[in-house]
Amino acid sequence: MTEFASLLAEIGQCRICAAHLPHLPRPVLQAGPDARLVIIGQAPGSKVHESGVPWRDQSGRRLRDWTGLDEATFYDPALVALIPMGFCYPSAADGADLPPRPECAPAWHARVMPSKARLTLLVGIHAQTYYLQDRAKETMTETVQRFEAYGPDRFPLPHPSWRSTGWMRRNPWFEAEVLPALRLSVRSALA
Ligand code: SF4
């Protein structure tokens, strides 16, 4: 077993925050040591928790559309790492998923992050708060609108949940200006 495969097996056995989860931990991520593109999302939803496949849901379809990635590329760990802020489904309350468990990123991210990554997509407020210490008190919308300030190796995005449909209607600059730049950045990271 390679060192990286051992690390993934170690993550698979993780129980660090088991006491806070209403189910057995089931870490869901995709990672390879040489991936060029890293996508840091929030945490698996209930469908992903069941399937064990990251972004295998409506949000994932929207994210692939935004990035211009086909399924084969998106799910190739030699090219793309899918590393959420929390690897296990945190459960839901009042009709919304709970935030990612705060123990997870500090415990695992530095070890599992590919060293040759050219571009990291920071998807949603939790990834942006953790990785963009320079965003000060911006809202998520302001951070995404100022995406060029964080480049060229980091790219903030909203979470592509169903809520993003209304958000995109209210913020038409996202489709007109941000998505073309995102697709270009993703293509050049993988070239
Ligand atoms: S969410 Fe992260 S820290 Fe918690 S049990 Fe799962 S892998 Fe471990």
Give residue-wise pLDDT tens across range 150-180.
Answer: 989 999 999 999 889 999 999 999 999 999 9
State whether the beta carbon of 90 lies less than 6 angstroms from ligand 1: no
Q: Measured from the CB, is residue 78 less than 6 Å from ligand 1?
A: no
Q: What is the DSSP letter of 87?
A: S
Place of tokens 């590919």: 114
Distance from C-alpha of 39 to C-alpha of 21, rounded to nearest angstrom: 24
pLDDT of residue 43: 97
Q: C-alpha angle 25/56/165, rounded to 5°? A: 115
- Dig out the tokens for 155 from the structure: 């790219």
**What is the tens place of the pLDDT at every residue in 40-83?**
999 999 999 999 999 999 999 999 999 999 999 999 999 999 99
Which protein residue has the closest C-alpha to ligand 1 atom 3?
104
Sign of CA dihedral 153, 143, 53, 26: positive
Whether the CB of 144 sits within 6 Å of ligand 1: no
Mutational test site, ligand 1, from 8, 21, 103, 109, max ligand atoms within 8 Å of CB: 103
Beta strands in 6-130, from DSSP E residues, in sequence order: 37-40, 80-82, 92-93, 96-97, 119-123
Between the CA of 103 and the centroid of ligand 1 the distance, in Å, is 7
20-36 burial, b at 16+ Cβ within 10 Å, e below that, comes to ebeeebbbbbbbbbebb
Residue nearest to atom 2 of ligand 1 (CA): 104
* Torsion angles phi and psi, residue 96, rounded to 5: -130, 145
Ranges of H-type helices in 132-171: 140-145, 163-170
Contact in structure between 116 and 35 (CB atoms under 8 Å):
yes
Cβ 28 under 6 angstroms from ligand 1 = no
Q: Which of 34-38, 135-139, 155-159, 187-191 has the lowest mean pLDDT?
A: 135-139
Output the residue whose Cα is nearest ligand 1's atom 1: 88
Q: What is the pLDDT of residues 98-132, one digit of tens each?
A: 999 999 999 999 999 999 999 999 999 999 999 99
